[in-house]
Structure 1
Amino acid sequence: MLQCRDEILAYTKKLVHIESVVNTNGEREIAHSLYSFLSSFPYFVQHPSHIMLEKTTRDDHDRYNVIAFVKGKGGNSKRTVILMGHTDTVGIDDFNQLQPYACSPDQLMEKLKNEDLPPSAKAHLESGEWLFGRGTLDMKSGLASHLYLLKYYAEHPETLNGNIVLLAECDEEDGSHGVISALKTFQALKETYGFNYVAAINADFVAPRFAGDDNRYIYKGTVGKLLPSFFITGSETHVGSCFEGLDPNLIAAELTKQIDYNPELSNEAYGETTVPPVSLKQTDLKPSYTVQTALAAYAYYNFFIHSWSPKDVLTKLKEQAYIAFNNALATYEQRYKQFAAISSEPYVNMDWKPKVLTYEEMMNLLTSKHGSLFKNHMTKFKEQLLKQQDLDTRMFSARVVEEAWKWMKDKNPTIILFYSSLYSPRIELTGKNEKEQALIKALDQAIKSVQPHYVHPIVTRNFFPYISDMSFVAISDNEEGLDAVTNNSPSLGYKHYVDYQDIRALNVPVINIGPYGVDAHKKFERMEMTFSLEIVPNLTNYVIQNLLN
């Protein structure tokens, strides 16, 4: 067992002290600091071409990845393991008056002694076995573990029959520009040095699955994440004559009622089930107050998948959208008749029918009818829309759909279903090829070697349950599944870029061995030090050794 606790703790604090909130200048600062730190290692002084500071591509922000590799001298193998970890964090606004200490663990923990803490946080603070602060858990202690192993093998290359490559990437917490930019670098390294990538090991955080869960989890593969979105049109009317129109917010409300927390939309595979979708936004698109009902509403939902494809999700959600639309019309009709009865006003049958189209279906209709005139208009519209720097990817997509809708001849109430953001692909690691079999065997052997040194059970599961950059090093979807994303993503190629063929070219099996803790993305974020600083690096090291030697 490597005796590495103190060194990794020091690296963790060094990284945490740099406030590297996603989409801020801190991302650039931490990359430059990390690059300077690694460049001072004797190995990289002797081999300066083995470390790179690379700016992300097609990115609105000035930020960088750090990529470094050590070539082993224990043999002539080209087998190569990728170590992954992200440098960015979520924001610190939730720390309130403790914001000045959010990235200073020692000071923060002193201040927390005077706070009214939840019982579990108080017990952890008093134990001396937990480190608090933004990024301690997600995931700078995991990155620190990788830094230690990179330094170890830089000092002991003779113990390595193969190579390790470290990717310290930015922008994991938002658009994954870091890992997506790195894909072509991995390919270039393969062409230059002949690297044969056999596995990737991510070091993102792990947490209890439920209260009282003492297991420490290692994950094989990862959940996929989609952002299905709905542009909903109604029939505008003055609020004084509300039954002469159809409020799209009513349809949106029924849609959220139908989708939110719906277990029918949980995806089970290999005995594990995703959490159901949940609403992340629901709004109308009125720019300001008027006494007219909205022309359109907009809603989007987080959606996790294990085995379903993006095409499967569109099919299922189209069905749900029809159910919601019918429910909205039934509610409208019932209430209109009830109002007519008490007001003595006549009931007029509006005869609306549920209508749901995917973005691809709408675009095919409009292209067929209007041809290049429509296509050229939409291209120019997207280019102009890009100039609105404050428009995020999700709202950019909504505005594109809204503009295309203006060209539709039939303006009856309709739902348009599309994807408004990045697709993080699902990855199944099942032993379907030699590389997967070798990684699973190496992991099982590593757990067997390390478990006697740790009191809590170390347990493997099939899908990492959170969004992570693991999604961009391998792909389980076929082309039909991916086409459902590319053909239904209005912002793809404008506000976000993913070349899925770059992922398929790398296609390396991936696992997650990361720090253990609780309250990631929250004020009391903290990691348990024994597992995170001792067990994680040793597990990772055993996997490397089992794979390469």
Structure 2
Amino acid sequence: MLESREAVLALTTQLVNVESIVNTAGEKTIANSLYKIIADLPYFSKNTSYLTLEKTINDIHERYNVLAFVKGTKGTSNRTVILMGHMDTVGIDDFNQLKDRACFPDELMEALKQEELPVSAKEHLESGDWLFGRGVLDMKSGVASHLFLLQYYSEYPEELDGNLVLLAECDEEDSSHGVLSALKVLKSWKEEHGFDYVAAINSDFVSPRYAGDINRYIYKGTVGKLLPSFFITGAETHVGSCFEGLDPNFIAAELTKQINYNPELCNEAFGETTVPPVSLKQTDLKPSYTVQTALSAYVYYNFFIHSWSPKDVLEKLKEQALIAFERALASFDERYKRYSAASGEPYVELPWAPRVFTYEEMEQMLVAEHGDAFVRHMNEFKEILLQNQELDTRMFAARVVEEAWKWMKDKNPAIILFYSSLYSPRIELTGKTSREQALIDALDEAVEAVQPSYQHPIVTRNFFPYISDMSFVALSDDQEGINAVSKNNPGWGTKHYVEYQDIRELNVPVINIGPYGVDAHKKLERMEMTYSLEVVPNLTNLVIRKLLA
């Protein structure tokens, strides 16, 4: 077993001290810092071309990935293992008056001793085995673990029959520009050096799954994440004649009631179940106050998948949207009748019926009706919209749908379903290929070897439960599933584009062996040092040695 604790702790602290909040200049700073750490190693002083600082592609921010590799000299194998992890963090505003200490663990922990803390956090703070600070858990200790192993094998390349690649990527916390850009470098190295990528090991954080859970988890593959979005049109009216129109917010509220926390929309696979969808935004699109009801509303939901494809999700949500629309109209009708009875005003039968379209269906209708005129107009509209860099991909998509809707001849209320953000693909690791089985066997043997020396159970599960860059090194979806994303994202090809073919060409089986802790993305973010600094590097190393023996 490698003596890793002090070295990984020192590297973790060094990385945490660099504030590297996503979408800020700090991402560039930490990339330069990490590059220098690696460049100063004797191996890379001699092999300068084995280390690169690569700017991200098609990115409005200037930021970089750091990639390096060690070529083993034990034999002639081209087998190559990728160690991957992200350098960016979420923001530090939640630290409030301790904001200036958020990236300095020792100072932060000293200050926290003067604060009222939850019982568990207080116990951890006093234990001496927990490190607090922004990024210590998510996921600079994981990057430090990988860096430690890169350094070790740069000193002992004769122990590797194969190659070891380090990928430290930026922008994991927002749009994954880092890993998507890095695919180009990995592909070029494959061609230039003959690398045969047999496995990837991510080192993102792991946490208890429920209160009292003492397990430390390792994950094979990862959950997929979609952002299904709904543009909802109503029938505008003056609020004094409210039953003469249909408020799209009323439909949106029923839609959220139907989708939010709905267990029917949990995806079970291999005995593991995703959490249900939850709303991330709900708003109407009125630019300012008027006494007219809104013309349209916009809602979107987080949606995790294990085995469903993006196409499956569209089909399921189209059904749910239709149910919600029917219920909204039934409720509207019932209330209208009650109001009419109470007021003495006549009841008029509702003129509306539920209508739900995917963006692809609406676009096909509009192209059929208006031809090139519609296509030209929408292309020009998107180009103008792109000039507003403050418009994120989600609102960009909504504005495109809103503009397309103006071309619809039938303006009766409707729901348009689409995707408005990055699809992080699901990955299944089942042993269906020899490479997958080799990685699973190596992981099982590593856990079996390490478990006796660590007090808590180390448990392997099938799907990493959080969004991570693991999603972009392999692809379980077929082309039909990917087409459902590209054809139903209104910003595709302009505001948003992903070379999913790059992922399919790499297609390397991936696992996650990461630091253990709690409260990631929160003020009391912290990691357990014994597991994170000792167990994680050694588990990872045993997997490497098994695959590159």
Which amino acid in the other structure matches residue 199 of structure 1? A
In the alignment, which residue of structure 1 is the partner of 2:410? Answer: 410
Equivalent residue, structure 2, for 1:401: 401
Say yes or no: does 1:51 pair with 2:51. yes
Asked if 1:373 is matched to 2:367, the reply is no
2:100 equivalent in structure 1:
100
Cα offset, 1:355, TM superposition: 0.1
1:289 corresponds in structure 2 to 289
Per-residue CA deviations over 1:142-161 (Å, capped at 9, x if unaligned) read 00000000000001100011
Moved more, 314-323 or 377-386: 377-386
CA contact (8 A) 1:78 1:162 kept: yes
Q: Is the counterpart of residue 349 in structure 1 residue 349 in structure 2?
A: yes
Residue 351 of structure 1 and its aligned partner are, at CA, apart by: 2.1
SS, match of residue 292 in structure 2: coil
Q: Say if 1:92 and 1:134, in contact at 8 Å, map to a contact too.
A: yes
Match of 1:217 in 2: 217
Instruction: Name 1:473's counterpart in structure 2.
Output: 473
Match of 2:337 in 1: 337
1:309–1:481 CA contact under 8 A, matched in 2:
yes
Q: Contact 1:141/1:515 (CA < 8 Å) preserved in 2?
A: yes
1:175 corresponds to which residue?
175
Quote the Cα distance in structure 2 between the aligned partners of 1:154 and 1:436.
27
- Secondary structure at the counterpart of residue 474 of structure 1: coil
Q: How far did residue 350 of structure 1 move?
A: 2.4
In 1, Cα distance between equivalents of 2:54 and 2:418: 33
- Specify the alignment match of 1:200 in structure 2: 200
Residue in 1 that maps onto 2:154: 154
Partner of 1:191: 191
Instruction: Read off the aligned partner of 1:149 and give its amino acid letter.
Output: L
Query: 1:433 deviation in Å?
Result: 0.5
Q: Which residue of 1 aligns with 2:91?
A: 91
Q: Which residue of 1 aligns with 2:449?
A: 449
Instruction: Work out the CA distance in 2 between the residues paired with 1:497 and 1:420.
Output: 11
Deviation at 1:495, TM superposition (A): 2.2
Partner secondary structure for residue 147 of structure 2: helix
| Secondary structure class of the residue paired with 1:167 | strand
Q: Deviations over 1:192-246 (max 9, x none)?
A: 0000000000000000001111110000000000000000000001111111100
Cα deviations by residue, 1:360-379 (Å, 9 ceiling, x for unpaired): 00011111111111111111
Structure 1 gap segments, 5+ residues each: none
**Distance (Å, rounded) in 2 between the aligned partners of 1:527 and 1:410:** 56
Bigger shift: 365-374 or 352-361?
Answer: 365-374
Deviations for 1:299-324, whole angstroms, at most 9, x for unmatched residues?
00000000000000000000000010
1:254 maps to 2:228: no
Deviation at 1:496, TM superposition (A): 2.4
Pairwise CA distance, 1:29:
0.7
Give yes or no for contact 1:58–1:497 (8 Å, CA) kept in 2: no
Task: Tell me the distance in 2 between the aligned counterparts of 1:494 and 1:6.
Answer: 47
Distance 1:521 1:56 in 2: 24
Matched-pair contact (CA < 8 Å) for 1:132–1:526: yes
Corresponding residue for residue 64 of structure 1: 64
Structure 2 match to 1:547: 547
SS in 2 for 1:185: helix
How do 1:207-246 residues align onto structure 2 when only pairs under 5 Å count?
207-246=207-246
* 1:16-37, Cα deviation, whole Å (9 max, x unpaired): 1111111111111101111111
Structure 1 Cα separation of the partners of residues 199 and 251 of structure 2: 46
Find the residue that maps to 1:67 and give its secondary structure. Answer: strand
Q: Distance in 1 between matches of 2:384 and 2:533?
A: 49
Helix, strand or coil at the partner of 2:217: strand
Structure 2: distance between partners of 1:45 and 1:193 = 19
The residue matched to 1:416 in structure 2 has which SS? strand
Q: Whole-Å Cα distance in 1 between the matches of residues 421 and 367 of structure 2?
A: 23
2:35 maps to 35
AA at the equivalent of 1:230: F
Q: Does 1:114 align with 2:114?
A: yes
CA RMSD of superposed structures (Å): 0.6
Tell me what 1:391 maps to: 391
Partner of 1:265: 265
For residue 474 of structure 2, what is the amino acid of its counterpart? A
Read off the aligned partner of 1:518 and give its amino acid letter.
V
Partners of 2:389 and 2:65 in 1: CA distance: 23
CA distance in 1, matches of 2:343, 2:25: 61
Q: What code does the residue aligned with 1:371 have?
A: G
For the 8 Å contact 1:175–1:496, the answer to whether it is kept is: no
Rounded to whole Å, the distance in 2 between the matches of 1:103 and 1:531 is: 21
CA contact (8 A) 1:286 1:295 kept: yes
1:312 corresponds to: 312
Q: Distance in 2 between matches of 1:414 and 1:277?
A: 22
Q: Secondary structure at the match of 1:200?
A: strand
Q: Secondary structure at the match of 1:508?
A: coil
Give the Cα separation in 1 of the matches to 2:175 and 2:148. 27
**2:57 aligns to what SS in structure 1?**
coil
In the alignment, the residues of structure 1 paired with residue 13 and residue 370 of structure 2 have an alpha-carbon distance, to the nearest angstrom, of 59
SS of the residue 1:522 aligns to: coil
Q: Which residue of 2 is the match for residue 495 of structure 1?
A: 495
Tell me the amino acid that sits aligned with residue 264 of structure 2: E
Distance apart, 1:380 and its partner CA: 1.1
Instruction: State the distance in 1 between where 2:73 and 2:545 align.
Output: 13
> Which TM-score applies when normalising by structure 1?
0.99
CA distance in 1, matches of 2:548, 2:492: 38
Amino acid paired to 2:433: N
Corresponding position of 2:3: 3
1:432 counterpart = 2:432 = yes
CA distance in 2 between partners of 1:382 and 1:413 (Å): 24
State the secondary structure of the residue aligned to 1:346: coil
CA distance in 2, matches of 1:6, 1:48: 27
Take 1:548 and 1:159, find their aligned partners in 2: how far apart are those partners? 9
Q: Which region of structure 1 is more displaced relative to structure 2, 50-59 or 374-383?
A: 374-383
Shift of 1:492: 2.0
Tell me if 1:163 matches 2:151: no
Aligned to 1:17: 17
Cα deviation, residue 418, structure 1 = 0.2
Comparing 502-511 with 89-98, greater Cα deviation is found at: 89-98
Deviations 1:444-492 (A, max 9, x none): 0111111111110111000000000000000000111111101001122
Partner letter of residue 243 of structure 1? F
Q: Deviations 1:327-347 (Å, cap 9, x if unpaired)? A: 110111111111111111111
CA distance in 1, matches of 2:337, 2:187: 65
Q: How big is the shift at 1:353?
A: 0.2
Deviations for 1:62-101, whole angstroms, at most 9, x for unmatched residues? 0100000000011100000000000000111111111111
In structure 2, distance between residues paired with 1:11 and 1:380: 50
CA distance in 1, matches of 2:141, 2:507: 26
- What is the deviation of 1:494? 2.1
Matching residue of 1:522:
522
Structure 1 moving runs of 4+ over 3 Å? none
Question: What is the SS of the residue equivalent to 2:121?
Answer: helix
In 2, Cα distance between the equivalents of 1:370 and 1:352?
Answer: 25
Contact 1:234 1:246 in 2 (8 A): yes
CA distance in 2, matches of 1:12, 1:497: 34
Hey, what's the Cα distance between the residues in 2 that align with 1:238 and 1:97?
47
Q: Which residue identity is paired with 1:59?
A: D
Structure 2 counterpart SS, 1:523: coil
CA distance in 1, matches of 2:164, 2:524: 34
Q: Does 1:533 align with 2:530?
A: no
The alpha-carbon deviation at position 283 of structure 1 amounts to 0.3
